[in-house]
């Protein structure tokens, strides 16, 4: 029994090309600029929320946004490419440890960031190459194991990572305000990059792989290369998110990055809407924000969260974004009738 | 030393095989990575404990109850969750993780997070096999595995149900055309997988401890085994389980206990690179 | 001068079964060539070898001076060979135009002929050429079976091939629809100058369409010639009747 074409269940494709003809959206005359302007506005709002709300809400929002960055990366390989990667948490860890170690050795922030990016990209390249012949659930299980491997290495490579105790992160931003700006800007840039990739040939090719990899190969898409590139790009987003979480937390330890994190990042993307630009944001709000804000005791909280994963993914296959689409379509239709 | 390591390896390998067979059976018919099986093991162990220590049932009756509970729970995961995502490969890991959270945390809420022990009547006994020793709980693990897998073998080979399951895992479309009711095979495969999880709980609980996340790490090993043997390949899972158990046990003795699990992953890595369809695969039909 | 498509001693086996066993043949540029044979005679495997789906165990494939038999499928496309499939394969949730765009985005170099001129203004004229005028904005899964089969051909042509391989294109078509298909194939050859190789079970469909026919049985070439010659060939008749 062949593994079904990867991603045959995801929401509508991102790009403009494959969309069915729809009613003109508002402000369509702005062209592509409309989406980017919207994202900039969103960024401003997020920054205001980050800097103006109390410490508790601000920290919850910061975690959400950092997860959104990592999730946007995942959106490229899993959302566009249809490959269920459960290893995004490992790149997140590599970015965090890479940047922190560089800062501890006195490197300036930008160099530390470059190192984090290079390290996560390299890890993505190696893992992508190793898993290049696997598809579907094989790929999911394989990536999950790399999450475990990274966790084991972080725990056991005492001389580098200080093991379970973790590391104190040298703070590289002059103030919390600066860090908040960095988080908001990086989030929006991540979302914009996904928007951009989704409309470029690279994104189109990833989507052909999601829809039918063999057919794509026979239409001239170099599927192996595109998948690998998509995976490396995803890893870089994860690494950048890692740099920010290390700076935000002040300390890092393997417990923050167990293999489960990569799993939950994938869940967040699926629940929010895989292949949709705002999917990772909505998913992160839900997965990271809700348990924090509702302050559920850990057992019941996790139980409820688990239940919600299952229910959401069954009831709304395309995630929250598709539910929002449905709601908008419903409203426009009713307005049209009047 | 070597012999002793081999003996513990067989014990560990039996556990891996037991779990891997359940996973691979479910994968064979439905293609879902059933991470939730860890939660089924946990709850089955707690049910045994509860029946035995709170309700006061005799040990063996409680074990039977727990094993049955495992089967029922596993079927419930299929009926209420997996069946809806059968054709949606991207959704399967999400549902699996959600179910695992629900099951593990149900145990946490119902019975608390303490490590407790399930003690069978033979808990302290030790068998002497020449120069090596084998705790009775270990012997029970091996025995339980052998009995469970033999029963499964007979079921798969010699009953209509077994033939139907094998047909579905080889070619679901053709099986459906031949009038095999897929829905029924899903339920049966999940039930068997749950029973095996229950048997694992009975054998594993006394060796370590019962707590809400008791099976999570073991299950990772079982997934290594499943890939080792080839997803969907039952006998590959048995052979792979024993192989990995012995490998890990040897490496714990000769290398370092801390990296015992890493050995498993190294094996996994080699398999994925060199033989992506599994060590014992006959064809490469599951991978590109 | 080397022939347009030259296949020498091509072999492929799957688990001990010799699906294609030592095929030799050549195809001239600008022809429509049919490959016929009973089920299991290796036609589809041969097509898979030509398109880079499989790598041959031995033998060579040359398109002009270009050697194809070591290339992965996407490089084969770039070299100028496109294929369709026995079962309809399209990006079914996408519009026809989006499907065509995938073909257009292949890295095939400009061929400098009629095909470049046709595709210069986007995919509409190509859709019309295969008999799907004005269907560009439709979701592929909403097209009829016959339209989907035509769409699959259009998508393959969008990669700007020199050689088009069709695997049982008439499957599931009514006689009328098959007529439309035959016309489309002729237009692809006549107007775009693309050489076409068709694997087909339906002998009748091929008789009116193909310039040359190659009959296969058990992975080998049985006969080769004009449709009339092949139809009269004793061995071919026996192979079809199972004698």
Question: What is the average pLDDT across A103-118?
Answer: 94
List chain A residues with CB under 8 Å of C107.
Answer: 220
Domains and CATH numbers, chain C: 5-241 (3.40.50.300)
Are the Cβ atoms of A216 and C89 closer than 8 angstroms? Answer: no
List chain B residues with CB under 8 Å of A88.
Answer: none
Which range has highest mean pLDDT (A118-122, B29-33, B148-152)? A118-122
Bridge partners of C36, per DSSP, are: C215
Asked whether the whole model's pTM tops 0.80, one would answer yes
C55 touches chain A (CB under 8 A): no
Domain annotation covers residue A245: yes
Strand residues in C73-157 grouped as ranges (E)? 81-83
**Distance between A8 CA and the closest CA of chain C, angstroms:** 9
Burial of B153 (0-12, 13-18, 19+ CB in 10 A): middle
Are the Cβ atoms of A142 and B227 closer than 8 angstroms? Answer: yes
Give how many domains chain A has, as a whole number. 1
Q: Which chains touch C (3 or more CB pairs under 8 A)?
A: A
Which of residues 264 through 283 in chain B touch A, CB cutoff 8 A?
265, 268-269, 272-273, 276
Q: What is the model's pLDDT at position C52?
A: 92
A201 touches chain C (CB under 8 A): yes
Q: Residue B94's closest chain A neighbor by CA?
A: A267
List chain C residues with CB under 8 Å of A201.
Answer: 105
Domain annotation covers residue A118: yes
Q: What is the Cα–Cα distance from A331 to A285, expressed in whole angstroms?
A: 24
The lowest-confidence range among A89-93, A268-272, B35-39, C12-16 is: C12-16
**Distance between A219 CA and the closest CA of chain C, angstroms:** 6
Residue B283 reports pLDDT greater than 50: no
Q: What is the Cα–Cα distance from B22 to A180, expressed in whole angstroms?
A: 48
Question: What is the average pLDDT across A173-193?
Answer: 93
Predicted confidence band at A1 (pLDDT cuts at 50, 70, 90)? Answer: very low
Q: Could you tell me if the ipTM is greater than 0.85?
A: yes
Q: What is the model's pLDDT at position B71?
A: 94
pLDDT in tens, B81-123: 998 888 887 888 889 989 998 999 898 888 888 888 888 888 7
Which of C82, C89, C137 lies at the smallest CB-CB distance from A21? C137
> For C160-183, b where at least 16 C-beta lie within 10 A, e where not — what string?
bbbbbbbbbbbbebeeebbebbbe
Q: Residue C101's closest chain A neighbor by CA?
A: A17
Domain annotation covers residue A280: no
List chain A residues with CB under 8 Å of C159.
Answer: 219-220
Q: Which residue ranges in chain C fall short of pLDDT 50?
A: 243
Which of residues 21 through 80 in chain B touch A, CB cutoff 8 A?
27, 31-33
Are the Cβ atoms of C90 and A215 closer than 8 angstroms? Answer: yes
Question: What is the average pLDDT across A41-56?
Answer: 89
Q: What is the model's pLDDT at position C143?
A: 92
Cβ atoms < 10 Å from Cβ of A160: 12
Question: What is the average pLDDT across A90-111?
Answer: 94
Q: What is the Cα–Cα distance from B223 to A259, expressed in whole angstroms?
A: 14
Are the Cβ atoms of C94 and A18 closer than 8 angstroms? Answer: yes
Bridge partners of C12, per DSSP, are: C20
Are the Cβ atoms of A18 and C77 closer than 8 angstroms? Answer: no
Which of A21, A219, A222 lies at the smallest CB-CB distance from C103? A219
Domain that holds residue A233: 33-266
Residue B226 reports pLDDT greater than 90: no
Proportion of chain A above pLDDT 70, given as a percent: 88
Task: Count CA atoms within 13 Å of residue B225 on its CB side.
Answer: 35
Which range has highest mean pLDDT (B38-52, B238-252, C10-24)? B38-52
Residue A195 reports pLDDT greater than 90: yes
Residue A208 CA from chain centroid, whole number:
20
Task: Annotate chain B with three-state secondary structure.
Answer: CHHHHHHHHHHHHHHHHHHHHHHHHHHHHHCCCCCCHHHHHHHHHHHHHHHHHHHCCCHHHHHHHHHHHHHHHHHHHHHHCHHHHCCCCCCHHHHHHHHHHHHHHHHHHHHCCCCECCCCCCCCCEEEECCEEEEHHHHHHHHHHHHHHHHHHHHHHHCHHHHHHHHHHHCHHHHHHCCCCHHHHHHHHHHHHHHHHHHHHHHHCCCCCECCCCCHHHHHHHHHHHHHHCCCCHHHHHHHHHHHHHHHHHHHHHCCHHHHHHHHHHHHHHHHHHCCCCCCCCCCCCCC
Residue A79 reports pLDDT greater than 90: yes
Predicted confidence band at A207 (pLDDT cuts at 50, 70, 90)? Answer: very high
Provide the 3-class DSSP secondary structure of residue C97: helix
Provide the 3-class DSSP secondary structure of residue C66: strand
Residue A323 reports pLDDT greater than 90: no
Domain annotation covers residue A226: yes
Which of A84, A314, A317 lies at the smallest CB-CB distance from B93? A84
Q: What is the mean pLDDT of chain B?
A: 84
pLDDT in tens, C92-128: 999 999 999 998 888 777 777 788 888 887 888 899 9
Q: What is the model's pLDDT at position B287?
A: 31
């Amino acid at each position: 029994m062949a593994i079904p074409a990867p991603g045959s269940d995801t929401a509508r494709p991102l790009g403009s090309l494959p969309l069915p003809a729809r009613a003109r959206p508002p402000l369509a005359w702005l062209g592509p600029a409309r989406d980017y302007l919207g994202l900039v506005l969103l960024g401003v709002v997020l920054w205001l929320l980050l800097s103006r709300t109390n410490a508790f809400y601000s920290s919850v929002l910061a975690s959400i946004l950092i997860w959104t960055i990592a999730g946007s990366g995942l959106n490229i390989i899993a959302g566009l490419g249809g490959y269920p990667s459960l290893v995004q948490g490992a790149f997140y860890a590599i970015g965090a440890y890479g940047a922190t170690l560089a800062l501890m050795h006195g490197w300036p922030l930008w160099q530390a960031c470059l190192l984090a990016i290079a390290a996560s990209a390299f890890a993505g390249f190696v893992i992508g190459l190793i898993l290049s012949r696997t598809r579907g659930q094989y790929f999911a299980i394989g990536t999950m194991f790399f999450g475990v491997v990274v966790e084991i290495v972080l725990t056991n490579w005492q001389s580098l990572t200080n093991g379970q105790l973790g590391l104190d992160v040298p703070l590289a931003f002059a103030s919390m305000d600066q860090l908040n700006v960095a988080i908001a800007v990086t989030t929006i840039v991540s979302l914009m990059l996904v928007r951009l990739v989704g409309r470029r040939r690279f994104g189109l090719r990833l989507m052909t792989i999601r829809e039918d990899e063999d057919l794509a190969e026979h239409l001239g898409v170099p599927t192996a290369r595109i998948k690998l590139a998509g995976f490396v790009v995803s890893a870089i987003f994860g690494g950048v998110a890692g740099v920010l979480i290390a700076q935000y937390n002040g300390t890092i330890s393997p417990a923050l990055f167990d293999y489960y994190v990569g799993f939950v990042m994938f869940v967040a993307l699926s629940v929010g809407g895989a292949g949709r630009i705002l999917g990772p944001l909505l998913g992160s709000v839900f997965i990271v924000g809700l348990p924090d804000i509702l302050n559920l005791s850990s057992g019941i909280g996790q139980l409820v969260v688990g239940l919600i994963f299952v229910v959401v993914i069954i009831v709304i296959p395309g995630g929250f974004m598709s539910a929002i689409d449905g709601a908008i379509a419903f409203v426009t239709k009713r307005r049209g009738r009047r | 030393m070597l012999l002793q390591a081999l003996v513990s390896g067989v014990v560990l390998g039996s556990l891996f095989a037991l779990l891997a067979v359940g996973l691979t059976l479910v994968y064979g018919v439905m293609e879902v990575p059933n991470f939730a099986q860890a939660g089924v093991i946990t709850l089955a162990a707690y049910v045994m404990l509860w029946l035995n220590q709170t309700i006061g049932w005799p040990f063996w009756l409680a074990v039977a109850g727990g094993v049955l509970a495992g089967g029922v729970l596993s079927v419930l995961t299929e009926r209420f969750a997996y069946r809806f995502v059968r054709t949606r490969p991207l959704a399967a890991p999400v549902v699996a993780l959600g179910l695992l959270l629900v099951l593990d945390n149900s145990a946490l809420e119902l019975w608390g997070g303490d490590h407790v022990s399930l003690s069978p009547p033979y808990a302290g006994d030790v068998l002497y096999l020449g120069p090596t020793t084998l705790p009775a709980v270990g012997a029970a693990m091996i025995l339980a595995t052998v009995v469970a897998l033999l029963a499964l073998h007979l079921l798969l080979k010699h009953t209509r149900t077994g033939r139907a399951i094998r047909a579905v895992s080889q070619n679901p479309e053709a099986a459906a055309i031949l009038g095999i009711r897929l829905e029924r095979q899903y339920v049966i495969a999940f039930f068997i997988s749950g029973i095996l999880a229950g048997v694992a709980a009975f054998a594993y609980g006394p060796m370590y401890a019962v707590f809400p996340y008791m099976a999570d790490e073991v299950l990772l090993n079982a997934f290594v085994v499943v890939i080792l043997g080839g997803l969907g390949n039952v006998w590959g899972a048995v052979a792979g389980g024993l192989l990995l158990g012995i490998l890990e046990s040897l490496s714990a003795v000769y290398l370092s206990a801390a990296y015992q699990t890493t050995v498993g992953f190294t094996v996994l890595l080699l398999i994925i690179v060199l033989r992506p369809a599994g060590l014992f695969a006959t064809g490469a039909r599951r991978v590109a | 001068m080397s022939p347009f498509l030259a296949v020498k001693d091509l072999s492929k086996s799957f688990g001990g079964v010799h699906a294609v066993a030592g095929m030799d043949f050549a195809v001239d540029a600008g022809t429509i060539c049919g490959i016929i044979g009973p089920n299991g005679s290796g036609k589809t495997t041969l097509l898979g070898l030509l398109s880079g789906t499989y790598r041959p165990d031995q033998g060579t494939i040359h398109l002009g001076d270009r050697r194809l038999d070591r290339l992965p499928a996407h490089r084969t496309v770039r070299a100028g060979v496109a294929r369709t499939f026995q079962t309809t394969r399209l990006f079914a949730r996408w519009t026809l135009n989006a499907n065509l765009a995938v073909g257009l985005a292949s890295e095939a170099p400009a061929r400098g002929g009629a095909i470049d001129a046709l595709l210069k203004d986007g995919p509409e004229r190509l859709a019309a050429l295969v008999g799907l005028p004005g269907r560009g904005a439709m979701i592929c899964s909403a097209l009829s079976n016959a339209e989907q089969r035509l769409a699959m051909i259009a998508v393959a042509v969008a990669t700007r091939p020199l050689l088009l391989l069709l695997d049982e294109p008439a499957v599931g078509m009514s006689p009328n629809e098959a007529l439309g298909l035959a016309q489309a194939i002729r237009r692809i050859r006549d107007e775009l100058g693309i050489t076409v190789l068709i694997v087909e079970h339906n002998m009748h469909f091929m008789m009116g369409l193909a310039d040359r026919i190659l009959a296969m049985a058990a992975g080998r070439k049985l006969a080769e010639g004009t449709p009339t010659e092949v139809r009269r060939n004793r061995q071919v008749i026996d192979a079809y009747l199972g004698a």
